[in-house]
Structure 1
């Protein structure tokens, strides 16, 4: 299940649970998602922070081995994107919109976008995700 933060055109905010992003898109296109406050079906997804269990204050510290496994997995994701997706640099927002609208070839892309551009893309229903950060350079011993 996917939980989305939603808002209607009257700025009422609420949550919705969907089996998949395709389920959300189909229901939204059919006008089946209504605001529980006013009933408006002009509903959009809002920017959401990922759900993270616990906080630094109440979550146990991650072991060094677990942290290393997580960092390796993130590095593999980034490497896969860099090797298989097209880098479009500062044109990311425009190219993502063009792909979404069917005006550009359907393919994986990555690049840079401002926070404002990311918010606009999300409001427009363009599926995007942040790229894991690059690994910091390895420290070298200096004599």
Structure 2
């Protein structure tokens, strides 16, 4: 295997692992290489210094061919999935704000109607809820207007 330091036209740097330098050239020629950050297909090798042994290493006896090429998830598609998740949470939960810990306890101990809630809690409150056996999950939901 050979590892190349690669860069896209958007200046995103990443590694690519290939069975040979010719395989890199072939994959790039067929348009199979894509930046994992921005999906750019204009990929170049960066110059790198050889490190380590200078002796020739025998190639592997046989390099298996991939059965199929599975496209790598792109930064944009991952961001879209995160937005879908956040939209689902916002649509299907009740915002109880800073009363989250108190309301979660009431629901857990059947002192309030069972429903899906969201809100804010301090790290200490979240830890106490978990110690009581009340499941909580911190979610990275940005404030309205903070979406990029």
The structure with the larger Rg is: 2
